[in-house]
Chain A
Amino acid sequence: MSEPIYLDHAATTPLAPGVAKAMYDALTDAPGNPSSQHRAGRRARARVDEAAAALAGLIGAQPRELVWTSGATESSNLALRGVAGFVGEGARIVSVVTEHPATRDTLAALAKKGVTVDWLTVDEHGAIDLDDLAAALAEGPDLVSIMQVNNETGVIHDIPAIAEQCASAGVALHVDAAQSLGRLAIDVATTPIALMSLSAHKMGGPKGIGALYVRRRAPRVGLAAQIVGGGQQRGLRAGTLPTHQIAGFGAAARYAARGSLPAQAGWARLRERLWRAIEPAGGLIRNGRAENTAAPFLSVSVAGLHGAALIAGLGEGEPALAVSAGAACSAAKGESSHVVRAMGRSPREAAATVRFSLGPGLDDAAVDVAAQRFVDEVARLRALAAAA
């Protein structure tokens, strides 16, 4: 049995060079509590500060503008629930129908508690209409929440333009950057973003650690803490800081600055090679325009076969392809990708959608093998279904 070809870097990435060592060193050399004032605590605190400096440097922030969390999901919860809690009665938030469940489900929960949520739709390419955003801003929301890169399709929202539009309207912007950190350059020093959710394990860091960037100067946004009980992190997120996780995140940020961001052009080239190689299968719809999709992403809806069969066939056959359906894949149960359906695909097309996401360890040869495997599996499943 051969090793699977890993094409699921949007789900999680292998540890980047230097990350495991940084974590090990923090565990063994700095076991103190970073909040303690004694020497062992200060030693741990130094690891946290180094990591904060590296991560802040990657996004143009100040280290003290970062709040460590358990991951981007918690970061987005803190951003959305925090703003809603700070505003109180009458809170209003604008978001997009194609957001990650971390945002969608949180806003759905807030809506049940009385928060007004305005949902922006997308076109067939997954893009919002800035006129729709302008109309939503005219309603006087307290926050706009938009992801920079869609987790299923890789479609990029024009955050600099959106941020300027929000700033002009005096509305705070939260950006879910879980999929864009380390893949797209973003500078909060020049882009008026109030809050930004960050994840380590999508960019070569460990799972279980994320951060929320909270701007300290205009546009500044009020946040109500969601986890209390210790006063750490200026009261915004209580709990002992996990030094080794944070050190790993910092090492991943350092690697991203010198390695990941420059590598994006290579992933884009490889992605186009993959697309050209699978396109002859026919009946494929590419979700999102290449020029407006983050480099590692290729989302394809496949006609003429069942989504669950496709994912199982790719994942269990030889060689196995580690790809993602992007979402549950039963068209009949309405479980197909809400993102792809929002882009105008039918439930069945959305159900038979595969997300390839490229990253370290892949080269031309691996992509060619994966493409041939995909083409063969699509042909096999279509043949099985053709006479049914």
Chain B
Amino acid sequence: MRETDPVMARFLRPAYSVDADGRGRWAASGAADTPGEDARCRVFLAADDAGRLQAGFAAFGPPAVIAAADWVCEHATGQTVEFLHTPTLADVEKALALTPTQRYAGLVAIDALANAVIHLKQ
């Protein structure tokens, strides 16, 4: 494994993945896709009594999409719904050292998180 490659490290061992059986326990989810890259991502959210978020994801796509989804879920987990700082593309790019051709992966993960937050607030 290329241990120094943050994309590959998260792709091989994502910490926030949600399988099909586990999706029922989440309060809300939001999805985004990029047909041009044949990739899609869904972020799941739940909040505890104090409003602190837990996030998880499912994704179909190249390793960068899975890694970006995992990273945005880690970023969101532990924050509160009210004061959630939605990551920017620059945040994801920096954290995962995305190449220009992988930027779409950051965008699809951010959009999925944003859509999940909207649904959670509803």
| Contacts from A to B (Cβ < 8 Å) | 1, 305-306, 308-309, 312-313, 316-318, 320, 330-333, 348, 351, 383-388
Please determine whether A386 and B19 come into contact, CB atoms closer than 8 angstroms.
Answer: yes
CA A78 to CA B17, docked complex, whole Å: 53
Question: What residues of B have a CB within 8 angstroms of the CB of A305 in the complex?
Answer: 60
Please tell me which one of the listed residues A1, A313, A330, A388 contacts residue B60 in the complex, with CB atoms under 8 A apart.
Answer: A388
Q: Are B37 and A330 in contact (CB under 8 A)?
A: yes
Taken residue by residue from 1 to 14, chain B's Cβ proximity to chain A (1 for < 8 Å, 0 otherwise) reads as: 11000001001101
| Cross-chain contact B58 with A313 (CB below 8 angstroms) | no
Number of A-B residue pairs, CB cutoff 8 Å, is: 75
Contact status B38-A316, CB under 8 Å: no
Q: Are B38 and A306 in contact (CB under 8 A)?
A: yes
CB-contact partner of B12 in A308, A317, A331, A387, under 8 A: A317
What A residues does B19 contact at CB under 8 A? 383-384, 386-387
Answer whether residue B66 sits at the interface, using C-beta atoms and an 8 A cutoff.
yes
Which residues of the other chain, A, contact B12 by a CB distance below 8 angstroms?
313, 316-317
Question: Hey, which chain B residues are within 8 Å of A387, CB to CB?
Answer: 18-20, 22-23, 42, 44, 58
Contacts of A1 in B (CB 8 A): 1
Contact B37 A309 (CB under 8 A): no
Q: Count the B residues whose beta carbon is within 8 Å of the partner chain — how many?
A: 29
Complex alpha-carbon distance, A348 and B39, angstroms: 11
Q: Answer whether residue B31 sits at the interface, using C-beta atoms and an 8 A cutoff.
A: yes
Give complex CA distance A7, B18 in Å. Answer: 32
Q: B42 to chain A: which residues have CB within 8 Å?
A: 387-388
Which partner residue on chain B sits nearest A332 by CB separation?
A: B38
Q: How far is the CB of A304 from chain B (nearest CB, A)?
A: 9
Taking CB atoms, residues of chain A closer than 8 Å to B8 are 312, 316
Known: A1-B1, A388-B42. A332 touches B58 (CB 8 A): no
Residues of A with C-beta under 8 A to B61:
306, 308-309
Determine the distance from Cα of A316 to Cα of B10 in the docked complex, in whole angstroms: 12
Determine the distance from Cα of A1 to Cα of B60 in the docked complex, in whole angstroms.
27
- A384 in contact with B63 (CB, 8 Å): no
CA A100 – CA B8 in complex, angstroms?
31
Instruction: For residue B3, give the distance in angstroms from its CB to the closest CB of chain A.
Output: 9
Q: Give Cα A320 to B8, complex, Å.
A: 13
Q: How does the 8 Å CB contact mask read for B25-42 relative to A, with 1 for contact and 0 for none?
A: 000000100011111111
> Chain B's nearest CB lies how many Å from the CB of A371?
19
Asked whether A312 lies within 8 Å of B41 as measured between CB atoms, the reply is no
Which chain B residues border A330 with CB–CB below 8 Å?
A: 37-38, 62
B46: CB under 8 A from chain A?
no
Is B11 within 8 A of A312, CB to CB? yes
In the bound complex, residues from chain B placing their C-beta under 8 Å from that of A320 are 1
Complex CA–CA separation, A384 to B61 (angstroms) = 10
5 closest A-B pairs by beta carbon, nearest first, are A332-B38, A387-B58, A385-B60, A386-B20, A308-B62
Give min CB distance, A60 to chain B, whole Å.
Answer: 47
Flag if A309 contacts B1 (CB, 8 Å). Answer: no
How distant is B60 from chain A, measured CB to nearest CB, in Å?
4
Report Cα–Cα, A306/B18, bound state, in Å: 17
Chain B nearest CB from A256 CB (Å) reads 36
Complex: how many Å from CA A387 to CA B1?
26
Name which residue of chain A comes closest to B23, CB basis: A387
Q: Within 8 Å of chain A (Cβ to Cβ): is B113?
A: no
Q: List 20 additional A-B contacts (Cβ < 8 Å) besides A312-B63, A313-B63, A387-B58.
A: A308-B63, A309-B62, A312-B8, A312-B62, A316-B11, A330-B62, A332-B37, A333-B36, A333-B37, A348-B38, A384-B58, A385-B58, A386-B58, A387-B19, A387-B42, A388-B31, A388-B40, A388-B42, A388-B59, A388-B60
Q: Are A316 and B17 in contact (CB under 8 A)?
A: no
> Which B residue sits closest to A377, measured CB to CB?
B12
CA distance A316 to B3 in the complex (A): 10
The reply to whether B35 and A332 contact each other, CB–CB distance below 8 Å, is yes
Q: Given A317-B1, A387-B20, A309 and B11 touching (CB < 8 A)? A: yes
What residue of chain B has the Cβ atom nearest to residue A351's Cβ? B38
Which residues in B have their C-beta under 8 angstroms from that of A383?
17, 19-20
Nearest-Cβ distance from residue B64 to partner chain A, whole angstroms? 9
27 pairs, A vs B, C-beta closer than 8 Å: A305-B60, A306-B60, A308-B62, A308-B63, A309-B63, A309-B66, A312-B63, A313-B11, A313-B63, A316-B2, A318-B1, A330-B62, A332-B38, A348-B38, A383-B17, A383-B19, A383-B20, A384-B14, A384-B17, A384-B60, A385-B59, A386-B19, A386-B20, A386-B58, A387-B20, A387-B23, A388-B59
Question: How long is the Cα–Cα vector from A305 to B61 in the complex, in angstroms?
Answer: 8
Closest to A331 in B: B38
B14 contacts across to A, CB distance below 8 A: 384
Q: How far is the CA of A316 from the CA of B1 in the complex (A)?
A: 5
